[in-house]
Structure 1
Amino acid sequence: MSFTTEKTDHADHLTDDNVPVANGGATSPNGHLQPPLPNSAPLPESAVNPDVAGSTAPSAASTRPPSAIHAPTQVTYDPEFTQPPTLNYSLRTRKGWIAFFWTLVVLDCVAMPIALYFGLWYGTGLSHNAVFSISTGLLGTVSIVEYFLRFHRLWKQGSTCRVIGARRFYLDWFHWNLSFAWIAVMIELIVGTVPEEPPIRLLAMPVSSMLFAFGVQLLVIDAARIMGYKAPVRISSLPRGSPLRPGIYSLIEDIVAVDGSGGTEFRQRLNLRYQASKDFRLMLHRITLFWAAGALGAAVLTTVLIFTLSRDAAYVVGWCIPFLWAGIWAVITTKWVQVGLKHEYANWSETKWKA
């Protein structure tokens, strides 16, 4: 068995969608992603770092801005594809950090709003407007810090987690979604805190609103993919005009690459695995539908309860049920993927490369 190493210069990825990209096979000249070819040759050091090339460096490389010069990414794979291309990523070594981070998120986005509501509403003489002004001002501290940390990881010079084929300012699909989601939530909360008597049921709706948007986006993208539509805009590493992929694909790519420290290498490996494996593509399609249906179902249930239960119960339900649902879905998905990957390996010789 022989192995090929794909050496990819991130600087070559940082191009417009209509500019040819020379990256050792991860992106074709028309900007569409494709698996690296078995005969992909590593780029010379002069193509990666103009400083090494001296006076013989190509003019295109020597004129790159400093922000476009990055360390190469190594992707080693079996050109015979005798087994599924490895993702080279595991959650097992990150369990502690994942548990710590989500504990902070739950405390920040579930426990704190509820504690502030009951503590300030019933335990102080503050006006009801002031109660929710304080709660809104303190909401989401951990999430906001994480938002700016991931922005820095994507924006900084020498970023090792940037999107394949995109310029620096693009960030990634998940970051733009997160930005619009936070804007929508803040508008909802600010509007709710303007009246002297805040509409508590409206102030219990922000997370459900995000679930509605999340579920609809997953369904729309997957439906468009099935109907053969092309990507109308860049979706992370998929350039505009590329065949769409399941809605969950870009979320996995972005979250693992940036927040999970998988880097641009993971983006490349995920692309290779997706294109090489029929079972993997089918699994992502089914997981997309699972999360879309679950998000919409949880959003509908939460909304109904918010507008039918008593005021206090509605506020608790609005901030608890969406996170409870997400935790249950995450556990189910983890087990599902573990079983799915075992099935993929067991049936690899029969299903690889099939449409």
Structure 2
Amino acid sequence: MPEVVRGSRASIQVDRTPLASPDGLGPSSPAREPRNVHFGPESPGLDREETPTPGLRGVDTGLSTMSGTERRKSREEARKQRKTEPERDAYYDSRAATKREFRRRASTLQEYYAQNPTLLPQLPFTWRHGWKRWKLFFTIFLIIVDACVIPIVLFYTMKFIGHIEGWIIFAVVATIWGGPTYVEFAVRSLRLWKKENFFRPLGSSNKWAFDITHWISVLTITAVTALLIVGSAPHIVWLRVLSMPAPAILYCIGGSVFALTMWSLSGKRAPFRISSTEKGGEVYPGVYYLIEDVVAVNANAGRPFREALAARYKASPRFRRMIKVQSLFWSIPSLIVAIACTVVVVIHPVSKDVAYGVGWGVPFVFIGIWVVITIPWVRHDMHKETVTWEEDCGIAPGTRQKEKQLQLEPTDSERETPKEPVPQPEP
């Protein structure tokens, strides 16, 4: 990951070259320079005259007062020493996508990578560690269970086991359906609406300038809610209408991704703001905006991820090709599956009960299969991207990892010479 210098935006060139990660999925981990930061009286370099005895802590002997004074002096000395130290470069790993790093940094990741064109921009988000990945995974899991499993299980169990009328079944289904989705949508809206610009698209400071994923979510939620209301309103429910919410999700999301991808391939400019793409700017394939918006807002990665993703897309031809291929791979089959489900649902020779299971189950089975295919495919492409980038820069594959290991190993001067055993006196 890049190293950004603290202080003003007056450019201070960083001499050290960060090391790229071998797979391109996460930040690199070069050897860090030691930071001479003291945390209190226990810090090295701060001598203490006396140490209070734990058993005398509650006794008024004057020693505790002396210890408190020494502690304050130690903290003041450490604070003064930190102020006198020169500004050091900040190592940017996955912590770059935090509000604390966002507030204190001196330049954006786009500016840094523009000044260092030989570096492959790294994304400050990883699935390998941290709470963010589990939070995003848990949210997606809840949405899928709520949107797919609950409608199917409730319908078939209540109808064929409980023998309950249809309007009662779908009164329950319509009440329960979409709870996690609505909550996550409300949280997402609040984050984009906040005064701070951490979650908003790049180049936007208007609290009403939502990203494109937010508007796609509005379209999807509106379509699904309308189908549930219209289908369950009559006393004798329209089961074929109630079988269409899952295909409607594929129509809205897959259709939006397909439209954005086709607009990008046509070379036309953006007719309005699309996430971080300003009006009149270059439109990217649809999957790019879904990745940018979901990770930046739903996974709390914020603007640093938007900046790094934009820098990566601009710098790497392989990354651009991967985004385009994934956009076509997801959008076209989504529309085909949605059309096929619609045909099965509306054909009257097919039983209503069978059509309901097909309409609710097949789209989510398709999504699961496509996810299983996409994960290893993307990992392979990003690994090849890193290898190709190093070869184009004249670096042998794996060299940076070897350099990293060499930097972590102590030099000859740092190694302590073995001490000779001290002869013991004879008894």
User: Normalising TM by the smaller chain, what interval?
Assistant: 0.7 to 0.9
1:114 and 1:189 mapped to 2: Cα distance?
14
Kept in 1: contact 2:133–2:299 (CA 8 A):
no
More divergent stretch after superposition (157-166 vs 289-298): 157-166
Alpha-carbon offset, residue 150 of structure 1: 1.2
Larger mean CA deviation between 247-256 and 127-136 belongs to 127-136
Partner of 1:338: 379
Cα shift readout 1:218-248 (whole Å, capped 9, x = no counterpart): 2222222222211111110101110111111
Q: In structure 2, what is the Cα distance between the partners aligned to 1:292 and 1:351?
A: 32
Amino acid of the structure 1 residue aligned with 2:370: W
Matches within 5 A, 1:191-206: 191-206=230-245
Contact 2:216/2:253 (<8 A) preserved: no
1:293 maps to: 332
Determine the structure 1 residue equivalent to 2:284: 245
Q: What is the count of residue pairs matched by the alignment?
A: 291
- Rate the CA distance shift 1:267–1:131 in 2: closer, same or farther, 3 A: same
2:298 and 2:6 map into 1 onto residues whose CA distance is 24
Q: Which residue of 2 aligns with 1:150?
A: 188
Counterpart selection for 2:216 from 164, 177, 191: 177
1:295 is paired with a residue whose SS is: helix
Matches within 5 A, 1:1-355: 5=5, 71=103, 75-76=108-109, 77=112, 79-93=115-129, 94-124=132-162, 126-166=164-204, 167-308=206-347, 309-348=350-389
What TM-score comes out, normalization by structure 1 length? Answer: 0.75
Q: How far apart are 1:313 and its partner, in Å? A: 2.0
Q: Distance in 2 between matches of 1:131 and 1:86?
A: 49
Shift of 1:124: 4.6
Q: Deviations over 1:16-66 (max 9, x none)?
A: xxxxxxxxxxxxxxxxxxxxxxxxxxxxxxxxxxxxxxxxxxxxxxxxxxx
**Percent identity (aligned):** 32
Displacement of 1:7 in angstroms is: 8.6
Q: 1:125 to 1:297 in 2, by over 3 A?
A: closer
**C-alpha separation between the residues in 1 aligned to 2:8 and 2:262?**
33
Structure 1 gap segments, 5+ residues each: 10-69
Asked whether the equivalents of residues 71 and 160 of structure 1 are also in contact (C-alpha less than 8 Å), the reply is: no
RMSD: 2.5
Distance change in 2, residues 1:342/1:192 (3 Å):
same
The range that moved more, 245-254 or 133-142, is: 133-142
Q: Aligned in 2, Cα 1:81/1:310: closer, same or farther, shift over 3 Å?
A: same
Q: Give the C-alpha shift of residue 344 in structure 1.
A: 1.1
The 1-side partners of 2:223 and 2:202 are apart by: 28
> What SS does the corresponding residue of 1:92 show, helix, strand or coil?
coil
Partner Cα separation in structure 2 for residue 212 and residue 8 of structure 1: 48
Amino acid of the structure 2 residue aligned with 1:211: L
Give the structure with the larger helix fraction. 1
Cα distance change on mapping 1:102 and 1:218 into 2, 3 Å: closer
SS of 2:259 mapped into structure 1: helix
Unpaired runs of 5+ residues, structure 2, are 10-101, 394-427
Read off the aligned partner of 1:243 and give its amino acid letter: E
Structure 1 residues 112 and 148: alpha-carbon distance in aligned structure 2, compared to 1, 3 A threshold? same
* Paired residue type of 1:328: I
Paired amino acid for 1:276: A
Change in 2 beyond 3 A, CA 1:103/1:247: closer
* Equivalent in the alignment of 1:32: none
Structure 1 residue 178: deviation in Å?
0.3
